[in-house]
């Protein structure tokens, strides 16, 4: 990934690109368009890649960590007018966003040091509620996490764009 990122200790993968995002970026659909969101944006590695797609009109960068939102805001200065920022808990199903054309995400699955797939499942539910009919979800997840069945109940079509290095990248259409 080109260009350094502003980050800080305590944020997820604060000192370098995480493996999941590294798996997502090469298969990120380049035909994303319209109004979208990056759920769990962190410092903005995925957000930057999405905003490089010319057909993306706006991207709302959302995270529950205010420090992450602040770092993302700094990293997205180049995209002034196309990037918005929201400090919100996406596990509540109340993302304050609706009728989105697409959502990208690398959802967290740890609460402290404890693994918890429910966090990612709640992100998926919130994504389904936030997308308009025909909207797209593109997400990366560890291969062992149980997301396929839930996605199959919330979306009309789910496909795997990539699997390897312990990760899967999905695209789901609402």
d(CA 150, CA 53): 29
Give the pTM.
0.88
**In which region does residue 50 sit, left (phi positive, over 0), alpha (psi from -120 to 50) or beta (all else)?**
alpha
Q: Which residues contact 118 (CB under 8 A, 6 or more apart)?
A: none
Which residues span the domain enclosing 153?
20-173
Residue 168: CATH number of its domain: 3.40.50.150
* Tens-digit pLDDT profile for residues 40-84: 998 888 999 999 999 999 999 999 888 888 988 998 888 988 999
Report the domain count for the chain: 1
Residue 15, in any domain of the structure: no
Confidence at residue 95, expressed as pLDDT on a 0 to 100 scale? 62
Residue 5, in any domain of the structure: no
Residue 165, in any domain of the structure: yes
Residue 38 pLDDT exceeds 80 = yes
């Amino acid at each position: 990934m080109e260009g350094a990122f502003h980050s800080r200790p305590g944020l997820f993968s604060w000192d370098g690109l995480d493996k999941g995002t590294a798996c997502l970026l090469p298969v990120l659909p380049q035909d994303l368009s319209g109004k979208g969101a990056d759920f769990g944006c962190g410092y903005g590695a995925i957000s930057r890649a999405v905003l490089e797609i010319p057909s993306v009109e706006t991207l709302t960068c959302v995270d529950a960590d205010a420090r992450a939102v602040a770092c993302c805001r700094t990293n997205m200065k180049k995209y002034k007018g196309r990037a918005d920022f929201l400090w919100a808990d996406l596990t509540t199903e109340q993302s304050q966003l609706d009728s989105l054309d697409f959502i990208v995400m690398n959802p967290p699955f740890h609460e402290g040091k404890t693994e918890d797939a429910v966090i990612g499942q709640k992100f998926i539910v919130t994504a389904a509620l936030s997308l308009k009919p025909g909207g797209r979800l593109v997400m990366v997840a560890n291969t062992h996490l149980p997301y396929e069945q839930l996605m199959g109940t919330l979306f009309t079509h789910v496909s795997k764009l990539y699997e390897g290095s312990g990760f899967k990248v999905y695209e789901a259409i609402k």
